[in-house]
Structure 1
Amino acid sequence: MISARVSLLALSLAAGLVGPAAAEVQKFVVIANGEKVGHLTADVQAKSATVDYAVSNNGRGPKAKETIAFDASGMPVSWSIDGSSLFGSPVQERFTWAAGKAEWTSQADKGQIAASRPILYAANDASPWMLGVYVKALLKAPNHTLPLAPAGEMRLKEVRKLTLGEGAKAIPVTVYELSGIDMSPSHVLIDAKGELFGTLSGSLIREGAEGNVPALQKVSQEIELQEAMDAQAKLAHRFETPVRIRNVRVFDPKTMTVGGLSTVVVFKDKITGVEPQEGALASPAGEAVIDGQGGTLVPGLHDMHSHTSLSSNLFNLAAGVTATRDQGNYNEELLGWLDGLETGKLAGPRIVRNGFLEGRSPYSARHGFIADSLDDALKDVRWYADRGYWQIKIYNSMNPDWVAPIAAEAHRLSMGVTGHVPAFSSPDRVIKDGYNDIAHINQLMLGWILDPTEDTRTPLRLTGMARAGSLDLASPRVQQTVALMQQKKIALDTTAMILERLMLSRSGQVQEGDAPYLSHVPIGYQRYRKRNFVTIDSPQQDADYHSGFAKVLEVLKMLDDKGVQLLPSTDDGTGFSLLRELELYVKAGISPGKTLRLATLDAETYFGREASLGSIERGKLADFILVDGDPTKNISDIRKVRMTMVGGVAYYPAEIYQHLNIKPFAAPPPASVAK
């Protein structure tokens, strides 16, 4: 396969690629939610370029110094990347092509392949400037497709042409979609000279052109929205007649058990019947019939900590997630999607919206609103209330003295309060100040681990968890907080799986939670998951992170035993992550049946919607999934979702994954029309 792909590359080189730009310094800025959070400077020469890239947002961000050498056609033949990744882990990545051989070394892997001509390399830690290099190479390639080292291929598609600005200052750019590397494509802007202008989202833009970001974001939203609407039209299966789902075993979250073979009937968006298979009447002629082949019907799963995107909607449906709690987003974008989700023009789970509210500091996260004063924060609370948000989410840089009045205003307006524990505060204080739940198990545990003077606006809120291994869960400090949670009925949005990813990530290794799906996804994401996000300087530090994560699992079990409601959650958008979260609950010692109840009926009870959702009963909304196997016996069977139904509309994960260029995991169930 490699030689065949490299021969395509040879053809493209024969056609002549666009070479490097004439000598110039290209300057870009990085934008998040309208604010500058970083820079990129590329010093471009005839056959080389050096790039300086740095981002600081939410107390973290990648930093890279790149040196690239090109051949006469503009293909990279030498490429070095030095710096640090998102959470500060050291980066030293190398790629070379010479004498018919491509070699690379990265955090994820090292290797070599034969290549008679230079071949594109999908770097782990490249700056966005390399998007322009990729586009140049692909524009002259047959079918705008080229092979990649280490594996896979990269594809390019022209999306539309734009003119930014007016008159003499007008800038024509072309929007290209670059795909094949990661789970979602990139939309890249190229100017009339063939040089990188930025990304369509406006997160990277040429210096001096920042005024175009709002217009670009509008176009980006239009393109993504149209693609999502096209996907819904392609993937949604609607039924005009009742649907009879036969040969299934129904999971009952009230008893936490699976029953005998049953038939479940759905009409429009409601469940109209649940009856034993034995003695069930034949399906009336003309009705739709789905054969569950002995699988398990489970109420739709919940991710209680998500950050919605149009692509995450599809990933969630494919994983059986039918409801999410959005814990902070770009407000206008999220509000713009609601009509499409509610009217069925967009595919996705039901979304409960929380309003993101941050304080101003050098470490501020750029989502939602950043309040410069208490009056501003209270005004932002009212803005969210007027638009029907369910809760306010408070973040790291919020002034601890403002939490109580913010919470009081939210409660006055019938909203709840959740969030991180702001820096220099404590779990006990935010609970007393009015929190209804705490976001992230580490935000809870850090109150027992760190000194109150330590600054959790930095990556310390993650790296500090290496100290958790020695934590005594019977200590007064821990039990005082737990008693307060019991007394005030405070829930915990756990996101244990994201801590596993951060604390146990090791260069070149596949984590236990990623192994079941990783070979099915694009090469860029495979390599991204095989890297370390924390810095490991010694065997002791490695051991500390392992013991720290083991303590996370102990805390999960302790809280469940104490009656504290756990909210299964991820802070991730792949869908695979929620399934791992459930596996971790079971690994912690919570039974599979209880875990499934927490992810279904208990989550809906927390939302106050248990009368219409959360279990498979006549009269409730038809939100459930068909699983191959019995997840009450083996929780990992929850990964084998064959069908997801939301409001009576069926989606087959195999079709969604094929649409997303991911190898499917389980075949759709047989469907027919009764005669």
Structure 2
Amino acid sequence: MKSNRRNRVPRCARLVCGPLFGCTLWAAAAGATGAVTLSPQTLGFVSHAQPLIAITHVRVIDGTGAPARENQTVVLRDGRIAALGRHVRVPKEATVIDGSGKSLIPGLVGMHDHMFYPAPKVNPQAKVAIYPEQPSSFPKLYLAGGVTTIRTTGSTEPYTDLELKKAIDAGLMPGPKMHTTGPYLEGKGALGPQMHELTGADDARATVEYWMDEGATSFKAYMHITRAELSAAIAAAHARGITVTGHLCSIGFTEAADLGIDDLEHGLVVDTEFTAGKQPDVCPDTKAASAHLATLTVDSPEIRQLIRHLVDKHVAVTSTLPVFETFVPGRAPVDQRVLDAMLPQTRTEYLATRERVAAQKDSSWPALFKLEMDFEHAFAKAGGTLLAGLDPTGFGGVIAGYGDQREVELLVEAGFSPLEAIRIATLNGARFLGEEKSIGSIEAGKVADLVLIDGNPASNIKDIEKVITVFKDGVGYDPAKLVQAANGTVGLR
């Protein structure tokens, strides 16, 4: 299958600023030149716009899993990493940033990073689940959290996602580079009116072909899709080098791997294939499925066999530990940053739901959460490709950017070293997207998508939250300004 190369990063870029019209990011891609003008709105969030920057005395955690390198100099020129090392000469004309006591990591590559979020239930009698787009707050919060590239991994408003991508790429607003999925590929039984219910294999094929033409760069199958529909969608997508992932229920992981799916979202806790009496193409009772899974361990023969099968079939798994953590009674920490981001109505509802979850007795989630962590660690150690995301759904406790950072912290709790967890959240995602030659690690010649951190996440992964500057294409963004502009709006816009 061909790699998806639609969203290639320009080979070189130069930021030129003028007094009247703001800054222009001049980009030269293979065989073509172009210019991106950063709007006054975008420039308001920029802290470093110089075409030549040297970050000195900085710790480099390069995203490959290699040990951190101390006292490095990293030179950024025209949007790319021009040089790095202990004895790199600082160009006389460079703007110098003192990185003493700080760390530089690659920009995070969020692989389950929606642009939507659950709407607050202003009227308790309104039972319909709605997930509106957050086109103002989420792009800013992703970037502020150090996330420079995302895959939307399911869209309730695909046209909005595509237009957001265009606006960000054009410099009209700050945000991460977006790899946009098409609308959910869902069968009968969709959870809300924002999802089209497929009517069969022909509809699945036509849906995929239409949205590829509109600009979708991947697809996500959802819980009630049938094997025939999934097979047709995969064939249509693969014919044009596009990947398909899935949050599945009607189809087990083993079946999906045999059908040729590229990626599976969330991990073991959503796999229903071990449920007694599971019927083909039917999503079983999810509580029963979870109750049975909670009795298993990662060493259970059926789990070990599943891991071997996924690795043999080269099927990736996307970890979304932050959203599952919110379901564990008393588990998820109260993060003031998350509360500050929320619309007041959203905050009130989130805290009330959190209290109800904490009061639950005999919940299966403590066992399921541990099993999921063990599964992800075992899968990666067996040679599987593990990706990282946050999934800002559930009951609203997972917020763009902050959730991506929490995902890395939870990977460390799952048994990965901090260096391994950072690699999963950076280079692994870049490789899956086919972008590893441009992003995902800190190497000379790659695009300057970098995160400057106050501290050392190689020894204390919690330091990943201490973001000072986020560089995207060599332009430095101020996370504090991005956060300030988004606070109090999540749940609304």
TM-score, normalised to structure 1's length? 0.58
Partner of 1:302: 109
1:582 is matched with which residue: 408, 417, 434?
408
Distance of aligned partners of 1:343 and 1:238 in 2 relative to their CA distance in 1, 3 Å threshold: farther
Partner of 2:325: 500
Partner of 1:428: 254
- Asked if the contact 2:439–2:446 (Cα under 8 Å) also holds between the matched residues in 1, the reply is yes
* Amino-acid identity (%): 26
Higher mean C-alpha deviation, range 265-274 or range 593-602: 265-274
CA distance in 1, matches of 2:446, 2:358: 54
Distance of aligned partners of 1:280 and 1:399 in 2 relative to their CA distance in 1, 3 Å threshold: closer
CA distance in 1, matches of 2:253, 2:238: 19
Partner of 2:72: 262
Matched, 1:312 2:138: yes
Partner of 1:530: 351
Partner of 1:38: none
- Asked if the contact 1:250–1:262 (Cα under 8 Å) also holds between the matched residues in 2, the reply is yes
Q: Helix, strand or coil: the match of 1:298?
A: strand
2:433 is matched with which residue: 583, 589, 607?
607
Matched, 1:416 2:243: yes
Once the two structures are superposed, residues 171-211 of structure 1 have per-residue CA deviations (whole angstroms, 9 ceiling, x without a partner) of xxxxxxxxxxxxxxxxxxxxxxxxxxxxxxxxxxxxxxxxx
2:480 is matched with which residue: 623, 646, 654?
654
Partner of 1:252: 62
Matched, 1:291 2:130: no
The amino acid across from 1:557 in the alignment is H
CA distance in 2, matches of 1:324, 1:237: 22
The answer to which structure, 1 or 2, has the higher relative contact order (CA under 8 A, 6+ apart) is: 2
Matched, 1:407 2:215: no
Distance of aligned partners of 1:368 and 1:521 in 2 relative to their CA distance in 1, 3 Å threshold: closer
Q: Helix, strand or coil: the match of 1:372?
A: coil
The amino acid across from 1:469 in the alignment is A
Matched, 1:565 2:389: no
Moved over 6 A (4+): 533-539
Q: Helix, strand or coil: the match of 2:61?
A: strand
Uncovered stretches (5+) of structure 2, i.e. residues with no partner: 1-37, 116-133, 393-398, 489-493
Q: Helix, strand or coil: the match of 1:636?
A: helix
CA distance in 2, matches of 1:442, 1:229: 44
1:271 is matched with which residue: 43, 65, 81?
81
Once the two structures are superposed, residues 128-151 of structure 1 have per-residue CA deviations (whole angstroms, 9 ceiling, x without a partner) of xxxxxxxxxxxxxxxxxxxxxxxx
- Asked if the contact 1:396–1:422 (Cα under 8 Å) also holds between the matched residues in 2, the reply is yes
Is the radius of gyration larger for structure 1 or structure 2? 1
CA distance in 2, matches of 1:462, 1:596: 33
CA distance in 2, matches of 1:315, 1:235: 12
Between structures 1 and 2, the one with greater strand share: 1
Uncovered stretches (5+) of structure 1, i.e. residues with no partner: 1-227, 663-675
CA distance in 2, matches of 1:450, 1:526: 39
Q: 1:583-598, aligned counterparts within 5 Å?
A: 583-598=409-424
TM-score, normalised to structure 2's length? 0.78
Quote how far apart the aligned CAs of 1:504 are: 1.4
Q: 1:154-553, aligned counterparts within 5 Å?
A: 231-237=41-47, 239-276=49-86, 280-281=88-89, 283-285=91-93, 287-308=94-115, 309-310=134-135, 311-329=137-155, 330-367=157-194, 369-423=196-250, 425-442=251-268, 444-449=270-275, 451-453=277-279, 461=286, 464-501=289-326, 503-505=327-329, 511-515=331-335, 517-518=337-338, 520-521=340-341, 524-532=345-353, 540-542=361-363, 544-553=364-373
Partner of 2:458: 632
Distance of aligned partners of 1:264 and 1:539 in 2 relative to their CA distance in 1, 3 Å threshold: closer
Once the two structures are superposed, residues 340-363 of structure 1 have per-residue CA deviations (whole angstroms, 9 ceiling, x without a partner) of 221222211111122234334243
CA distance in 2, matches of 1:642, 1:306: 22
Distance of aligned partners of 1:439 and 1:461 in 2 relative to their CA distance in 1, 3 Å threshold: farther
- Asked if the contact 1:431–1:490 (Cα under 8 Å) also holds between the matched residues in 2, the reply is yes
Please report the RMSD computed on the Cα atoms of aligned residues, expressed in angstroms. Answer: 2.8
Distance of aligned partners of 1:392 and 1:462 in 2 relative to their CA distance in 1, 3 Å threshold: farther
The amino acid across from 2:390 in the alignment is T
